[in-house]
Chain A
Amino acid sequence: MAKKSDKKIIFKKEKEMPPFAISFYSMEYNKTGIWRNFRPVIDYDKCTFCLICWKFCPEAAIKLKKTKVKGREKLQPVIDYEYCKGCGICWEECLTKAIDIEEESD
């Protein structure tokens, strides 16, 4: 399993390094959420839980949360703002226009 790190690893000594360039860590340190100028916000009143937004996110930054809507088990799309780049695909594709685009506050 890939190890987590909080920032990009730069080896300080040659002895710490593997014999050639191989990976040990994930890319989770790279919080691409800071790239955003606009952030998508899901209005769960309009959301039909069709999961088109989850399907089309290139970042895998929309997570699925098990939830109950009117007694039924549903998977709820939840945007992970740590990684969302603000590309807007989810906003464009949402069939019920349940996603708003807001300007990112600093």
Chain B
Amino acid sequence: MGNHALSYGAKLSRAQVISAYPITPQTEVVELLSRMCASGELKAKFIKVESEHSAMASLIGASSVGVRTFTATSSQGLAHMHEMLHWATGARTPIVMGNINRAFAPPWSVWTEQNDSLSQRDTGWMQLYAQNNQEVLDSVIQAYKVAESLDLPAMVILAAFVLSHTSETVEMPEQEKVDEFLPPYERKYKIDPDEPHAFGGLTNPDNYFELRYKIQKAMEEALKKWEEVGEEFEMMFGRRYGLVETYKVSDAKSLIVSSGTIASTARNAVDSLRESGVKVGFLRIRVFRPFPAELIRGILSSVDKVIVIDRNIGFGASGIFYQEVKAAMYNEKNTPPIFGVVTGLGGRDVSSKDIIEIYQDVIRMKEPKSDIIWKGLKI
């Protein structure tokens, strides 16, 4: 299952300190890692913390000493560690975390929605939305490589139940190859009694600005790094992942844009539409932070219409991927009209038929009348 793909990703990456608190639907990640640590299959220390806030705090400490760290969480847990997510970025700790997209309470829900991870989009964590279990496992290994080269934390995100609890066949990379691809973590400025420093001391306005600039610069470098690491990974393991993934876009007149598990469904919808002669393509945004604006501009500028499907909502505004895609296109000379669709919140199923209907509704509109087109709402 997707959860286990995360566990195996952490195991193959030889995570050294794992600190996690259970939350549905992440529990299987930590349970499997617990078993692996207990049996010695994974030589790591597993700190059974009493809250997610403590999970992230302990990993920030461990990572600052210079060891590889891993955790996983979801919705409420992710929100509980929000303060420490900012801390992980400021402390420049390359922690890798699996996040299972689950809807926020109240009311209680365990089903999928992307608001939990997207609420953290400004924390300085790199964010990657996976569409199948193979990608989950591979992305954990890639995430360590990118994170440790830039000292920025990263989260590998997958949908609750649709991916976390769905079993798919996954090719397990060989440990020796992973070791070659991902050498042990070396940290330059670390907690070391032989070389004492104070970490995170009070910084006045005269120098804080520059430290923030450095984080942004690292994020910008990450755009290149993800592609580099993607190429290296392909050479080593035969599977290619980029910042985005295109499907039948080369001759497309209109484009559907989405992320995560909606992607697989959207590709089916694209195939169906193509069969009826429609020239539509699909763009999957895989790496959301840093946002691959330039790549998106290149792809979107050659189509006549864009439909962004969001399984999330920025209350008071609109779907979040829609906002970011629109912003990326704003200053372009020839930007197509961009339509934002919000669907599937709280785990409501999004089927191929739904996506085909979305396309057929939107294609009749000349330009968007509002920022949100609701799909599948019972009103």
Contact = CB atoms under 8 A, between A and B. Distances in A.
B236 interface: no
B198 A22 contact: yes
A49 interface: no
A23 B197 contact: yes
Nearest to A9: B207
A16 B105 CA distance: 46
Contacts of B315: none
A21 B210 contact: no
Interface in B193-241: 196-201, 203-204, 206-207, 210-211, 213-214
A2 B214 contact: no
B198 A19 contact: no
A50 interface: no
Interface residues of A, number: 12
A19 B92 contact: yes
B201 A20 contact: no
Contact of A20 (B90, B196, B206): B90
Given A23-B197, A23-B201, A24-B197, A18 B189 contact: yes
A103 B196 CA distance: 39
Nearest to B210: A14
A10 B198 contact: no
B211 A20 contact: yes
Contacts of A21: 90, 199-201, 203, 211
B189 A19 contact: yes
A18 B206 CA distance: 15
Contact of B198 (A11, A14, A17, A23): A23
Contacts of A14: 210, 213-214
A17 B214 contact: yes
* Interface SS of B by simple majority: loop
Interface residues of B, number: 20
Given A2-B196, A14-B213, A20 B92 contact: yes
Contacts, number: 45
A20 B200 CA distance: 8
A25 to B, nearest CB: 10
B112 to A, nearest CB: 35
B310 interface: no
B207 A20 contact: no
B138 interface: no
Given A19-B151, A20-B92, A22-B197, A11 B207 contact: yes
Contacts of A19: 92, 151, 188-189, 214
Nearest to A13: B210
A106 to B, nearest CB: 29
A14 B200 CA distance: 17
Contacts of A17: 207, 210-211, 214
B118 interface: no
Interface string B79-102: 000000000001110000000000
Interface in A34-52: none
A11 to B, nearest CB: 6
Contacts of B189: 18-20, 22
A2 B151 CA distance: 24
Nearest to B196: A2
A43 B65 CA distance: 49
Contact of B207 (A2, A10, A23, A24): A10
A14 B214 CA distance: 8
Contacts of A10: 204, 206-207
Contacts of A18: 189
Interface of B: 90-92, 151, 188-189, 196-201, 203-204, 206-207, 210-211, 213-214
14 contacts: A10-B204, A10-B207, A11-B210, A14-B214, A17-B207, A17-B214, A20-B90, A20-B199, A20-B200, A21-B90, A22-B199, A23-B197, A23-B198, A23-B199
Please provide the 6 A-B residue pairs with the shortest distance between their CB atoms, ordered closest to farther.
A23-B198, A14-B210, A22-B197, A20-B92, A10-B206, A23-B197
